[in-house]
Amino acid sequence: MRPMKCVLVGGERVGKTSMVFTYANSSFPQEYIPTIFDNYALNITVDQTPICLTVWDTAGPEDYDRLRP
């Protein structure tokens, strides 16, 4: 399986965690939970190629700007 990494970056409360949570769990989170850092491992198929996608979810507040490129 081919490995790929994706890093989610962006401002506070824009939906980074909700987006990856919804994709990974097929349900939208019912409450807001602030994220400092989290990662998800997803097995997906793109053009009949199996891929192990690792998604890194970063924090949004300005205090964590140093974590973003």
Tokens for 8? Answer: 């989610």
pLDDT, residue 67, reads: 61
44 domain-assigned: yes
| CATH of residue 54 | 3.40.50.300
State residue 42's pLDDT score. 92
**Residue 11: predicted pLDDT:** 83
* H or E stretch at 20: helix 16-25
Is 40 in contact with 20 (CB distance < 8 Å)? yes
Q: Is residue 41 part of a domain?
A: yes
pLDDT tens-digit readout, 5-64: 998 888 888 898 999 999 989 999 998 878 878 889 999 999 999 999 999 988 776 766
Instruction: Identify whether 21 is part of a domain.
Output: yes
* Residues whose CB falls within 8 Å of the CB of residue 53, separated by 6 or more in sequence, listed in order: 4, 5, 6, 41, 42, 43, 44
Q: Is the residue at 35 inside a domain?
A: yes
- Nearest 5°: the CA angle 36, 44, 59 is 10
Is position 51 within any domain? yes
Task: Please indicate, yes or no, if residue 69 is contained in any of the structural domains.
Answer: no
Where in the sequence is the domain holding 55, given as residue range(s)? 2-64
Q: What's the total number of domains in the chain?
A: 1
**pLDDT of 68 above 80:** no
